[in-house]
Amino acid sequence: MCKRFGHNAPRPVSIQTLVLCVVGCACQAAHGQPAAAPLTTAPAPSNGDSTARPTFSPEAYLAHVAYLASDELGGRGIGTDGIRKTTEYIAGTFQRLGLKPAGADGSYFHAFDMKAGATLGDDTTLRITGIEAQPTLLHDYVPFPFSSDKAFAGEVVFCGYGLVNAERQHDDFIHLDLAGKVVLVLRGEPPGWQEEGHFTTFASFQSKVSSARNRDAAAILIVNPKPEADQTDELMPFQPGSNSSDFGLPALHIRRTLADAMLTAGGLKTLDGLQTKLDAGQSCSAALKSIRAEGRPAIRWDRTEVRNVVAVLPGRGPNADECIIIGAHHDHLGTQLPGQGPARGEPSDTPAIFNGADDNASGVAGVLELAAAFARRGPTRRTLVFMTFTAEESGLIGSQRFVADPTIPLDKTIAMLNLDMIGRMPEGRDRVQVFGVKSADEFDEILIECAEQVGIELNSAAAALGGSDHASFYVKGIPALHFYTGVHDDYHTPEDDTERINEQGAARILEFVYAVTEELADRDAKPTYSTGGGASHPRSGFKVVMGLMPGFGESDAPGMEVAAVSPGRPADQAGIRRGDRIIRVNDAKVNNVEDYMAALRGKRPGDKLTIVVQRGEEQMTLEVILASGH
Ligand SMILES: [Zn+2]
């Protein structure tokens, strides 16, 4: 217990005081000893009597959130000092609660290294034959964060907006042989294509790059359309994040002045002239006479060590060799420096910290408070594993790496409970959403019973293949649940702050999760894994489904890994298997999840796809008939 601020004095009144007291503790951490975590104030029964259920202290809970979402931790971005302090804080809390380390080498950490952004080499080049003034890096052109770093050279071909949309029978690349050519396209799409004021997915960089790459182009140059009155022709800042993936083609953003010089020297109209025709529905795709482009985007990826944090409360009893994981991701989006492109919300000229109070300091604080309550309760029959994951925002990388190289026996893991965004229960409601209810036969009954005991309103959904860490365990055959209070306007913005957390609501959810955990830990029979959780997550927004879950992990093997196949769904019926790597969808080459998503875009239920998979040494061609995503 930290004495410095007299923690056992009456409860601090305001957030500031709370933050102050926790930061105080943080400075202790800075002095080498893990930070002092305020423990739950409500004493849990110490004699293993599970009937007396603890209540959770909203203040103690909020103190964790306040520290984890403090500006000091800078939004817990990958490769930052803030995320390192975060893992030390979590490990320090586990240690103080008496939980046993369950990471690698007797530590609390399960560490590995991953991509953490990239730098642009000054040996990046672009040379245009056929024009006077040669372009300069960062002034006239810049590689995109998703560009490959391959050298390229080829004649330049203008291809309008670079759109392929079967529904509209529109293809800007039609009748063009683009093999070895450098494709020049406009960003965006013609007016009238947008849906609810948003560009369609056909206008995404991903779609344009895949279309050019699938036609064996050597590179793609993308130029901004005519700027609105209050806008200027800006190049995108080069700031690849840990979740940037390489789209498999050199891709550069060029200024309109450079594009105009190439187009007019190549015998075409200016950009304005061409755009007017395109927006009127005319096609303008044509080769530029005697204009060649060659160059190389010298992108150097940095790697950094990241770590999951793992601790256990050993069980006592006949099932002590079995375990339940209670987890949450501890990373978030970090800090956005001035001028850096917006993730969401307005770009600012001051550093914008994505504090991530709800996403996901709220879940981590929940794991710490549950660990405290069970540490006080005394051992359950089964072992409890409390863990937090890194790099969830980068594509479930921490949890995927853990299930690939676990430090606890996954075959003895009977369930995984994931807390991701539990901090924003709607005011005046006492309700929790739970995904993954169909991932085990008994979950429905258990959840309803526990909800009644605790008196909380339950809103449950079948799917366990949703966008958070529980999915990584579900695909490994472990029943998994995701506890959640819903999306909100501050999601993935700098406004996701501690002040907006509903700590009373979160404390109620912890009572519920405590009850569910205790039931799973002490019941005789373990839950029965069910494929019923395999439905695609309701929020995926896709009109069609294949019924498979992509693997997100980094790999040098070609194609996209199939991490799970839902029985009875199109992929399964076609004979696709877990572990296969999809390398082609119809004519589209697939290198990663984005290519796969792009290949499904615009498809309709009933459409037939030819899928080529790599299964070990063997390549197989399979026919899939898509099903409806609704
Ligand atoms: Zn999250």
Q: Would you state the pLDDT for residue 206?
A: 84
Residue numbers of the chain with a pLDDT score lower than 70: 1-52, 242-244, 339-349, 534-543, 552-556, 629-630
- From the CB of residue 530, how many other CB atoms can be counted at a distance below 10 Å? 18
Q: How far apart are CA 392 and CA 360, in angstroms?
A: 10
3-state class of 359 per DSSP? Answer: helix
Q: Of 240, 237, 414, which Cα lies nearest the Cα of 338?
A: 237
Instruction: Tell me the C-alpha distance between 420 and 415, whole Å.
Output: 16
Q: Answer yes or no: are the C-beta atoms of 213 and 249 closer than 8 Å.
A: yes
CATH homologous superfamily for 541-628?
A: PDZ domain (2.30.42.10)
- The pLDDT, as a whole number, for residue 291 is 97
For residues 420 and 175, give the distance between their C-alpha atoms in angstroms, rounded to a whole number.
49
CA of 484 to the centre of ligand 1 (A): 10
Pair 444, 460: CB distance under 8 Å: yes
**Residue 31, pLDDT score:** 40
Q: How far is the CA of 29 from the centre of ligand 1 (A)?
A: 25
What pLDDT does residue 558 have? 77
**What's the helix, strand, coil split of the chain in %, to 5?**
30, 25, 45
- CA of 607 relative to ligand 1 center, distance in Å: 33
117 CA distance to ligand 1 centroid (A)? 20
15-110+307-533 and 541-628 share one CATH topology? no
| Alpha-carbon dihedral sign for residues 52, 57, 63, 69 | positive
Among 181, 189, 193, which Cα is nearest to 161's?
A: 189
CA 610 – CA 600 distance, rounded (Å): 12
pLDDT of residue 242: 65
Ranges of each domain in the chain: 15-110+307-533, 125-299, 541-628
Cα angle, residue 278 at apex, residues 276 and 282 outer, rounded to 5°: 115
CA distance 87 to 77: 12
Q: For residues 323 and 413, what is the distance between their CA atoms, to the nearest angstrom?
A: 5
pTM attached to this predicted model: 0.75
Distance CA 211, CA 202 (A): 10
Architecture of the domain spanning 125-299: 3-Layer(bba) Sandwich (3.50)
Q: Which residues contact 554 (CB under 8 A, 6 or more apart)?
A: 114, 115, 397
The HSE-up count of residue 134 (CA atoms within 13 Å, CB side) is: 10
Output the CA 350–ligand 1 centroid distance in Å: 25
The CATH architecture of the domain made up of 15-110+307-533 is 3-Layer(aba) Sandwich (3.40)
Residue 461, token pair as written in the block: 């959904």
CA–centroid distance, residue 393 to ligand 1 (Å): 7
What is the reported pLDDT for 339? 59
Cα 53 to middle of ligand 1, angstroms: 28
